[in-house]
Chains A and B, each alone.
Chain A
Amino acid sequence: MSIWEYANPKKFVETTTPLLPWTFGLAGLCLVGGLIWGFFFTPDDYRQGATVKIIYLHVPSALMAINAWLMMLVASLIWLVRRHHVSALAARAAAPVGVTMTLVALVTGAIWGQPMWGTWWAWDPRLTSFLILFLFYLGYMALWEAIADPDTAADLTSVLCIVGSVFALLSRYAVNFWNQGLHQGASLSLDAEKNVADIFYYPLLACIAGFVLLFLALVLLRTRTEIRVRRIRALELRARRAEART
């Protein structure tokens, strides 16, 4: 019994069918709980006032925007090395979710930035990096759409994802070099001393868990859809060939 067994499309669909409602339910629970807790049961920040509360949307979506790309990178590598179709389709399924997360992070950032910095948009390194990430997502999805043959598309987008990752990283540092920013430092890190105050921290954790679960649920759902689309295509092609022979 190995983990790769689940890379079989049929097995994947079978296994995830009972998991899907639980993931959605849990995601909803964490999100609703975390957001209500964060919005109504935490005090206003002494400097930022009530605007600080957008952190419960901004930080988790920004986190997922990057992690979605990382997940696509890993899935692409798995596809190139082991040729598991589920992996390629999962990467494809994650892209629209990732791009939405990026958009949410950008928009909530703008809404937060307006009262804090007095401007909706600044060419700050972090903001700019996210904008570039957004462009990478767009290119990746456009390439998937443009290629008719699914395996060729999977191969090419995987290579693009890997090359893109290298350049995205490069851009991140180039952008840092280019402009010192307005953005505050990381809100969360593993060494707890630098973290935001506890009172904001726990509801934020709940929201992050909610976003992770939501991402997981959406990607599962979309991967299953992609698998079924491929299956319909395969069945149609087989039927057409059988017809042509008779």
Chain B
Amino acid sequence: MGLVVLGLAVARGGIPVLDGLSFSVPTGSALILRGPNGIGKTTLLRTLAGLQPPLAGTVTGADEDAAYASHADGVKAPLSVTENLAFWAEVYGRNLPQDVFAAFDLEALRDRAAGTLSSGQTRRLGLARLGVIGRSVLFLDEPTNSLDAFSVRLFADWLRDRHLAAGGIAVIATHIDLGIDAPILELSPYVAAPDASGGSDEAFL
């Protein structure tokens, strides 16, 4: 049935930023979010992932199956690459799939402490978490930050061939072309009006 969003309005710090968003993402496909800095892409993704309540509207098809990846990786520097991934596998109650190391080019880094990785390698480790936890609806915030062209292609391949091909869904905020065949949602038309209702300051105006 996929992800269905109806009349969604989201707020950052109690101020409405996006208003009247409606879209749906069928299973096995992705959606790219575009918009200038500060428009509320992160806020939208956090709301979709259930980290903050929406001002209005509904999100269906996400709650139990969703995973969120922020632009921070959540990687623990003192732990090795394998330990980092094994931790998330256990939290999600799964076994650590061995093919994930190859998919994210971490094979050679398995036993390195995550603190000694370069920022691109750390990012790959952060993304590999998505391959470990087995969630079907992914909300990705700038997943390709600090990745080189090769790694971007690696990630796009994983997303297309493993995740989406298995009936997964992905909503991605990104500025670069991932090379995935996905519709693009431009957020600029949905910017909330300065007098949009629902903000926490509303009672004071």
Q: Which residues of A contact B (CB under 8 A)?
A: 8-10, 85, 149-151, 227, 230-231, 233-235, 237-238, 241-242, 245
Contact = CB atoms under 8 A, between A and B. Distances in A.
A13 to B, nearest CB: 10
- Chain B contact residues: helix, strand, loop or mixed: loop
B177 interface: no
B195 interface: yes
Nearest to B199: A234
Contacts of B195: 238
Contacts, number: 37
B200 interface: yes
Given A231-B205, A235-B205, A241-B15, A151 B194 contact: no
Contacts of A151: 14, 200
B201 interface: yes
B86 interface: no
Given A231-B205, A245-B191, 17 more contacts: A8-B203, A9-B203, A9-B204, A10-B203, A149-B14, A151-B14, A227-B204, A230-B204, A234-B199, A234-B201, A234-B202, A234-B204, A234-B205, A235-B205, A238-B201, A241-B15, A245-B194
12 contacts: A149-B14, A151-B200, A227-B204, A230-B204, A231-B204, A234-B201, A234-B204, A235-B205, A237-B15, A238-B205, A242-B194, A245-B194
A85 B204 CA distance: 9
B13 interface: yes
Contacts of A245: 191, 194
Contacts of B200: 150-151
Q: How large is the interface on B (under 10, 10 to 19, 20 to 34, 35 or more residues)?
A: 10 to 19
Interface string B171-205: 00000000000000000000100110001111111
Contacts of A8: 203
B42 to A, nearest CB: 16
A10 B15 CA distance: 20
Contact of B203 (A85, A149, A241): A85
**Which of B14, B204, B205 counts the most chain A CB atoms within 10 A?**
B204
A149 B13 contact: yes
A230 B201 contact: yes
B11 to A, nearest CB: 10
Contact of A150 (B14, B191, B202): B14
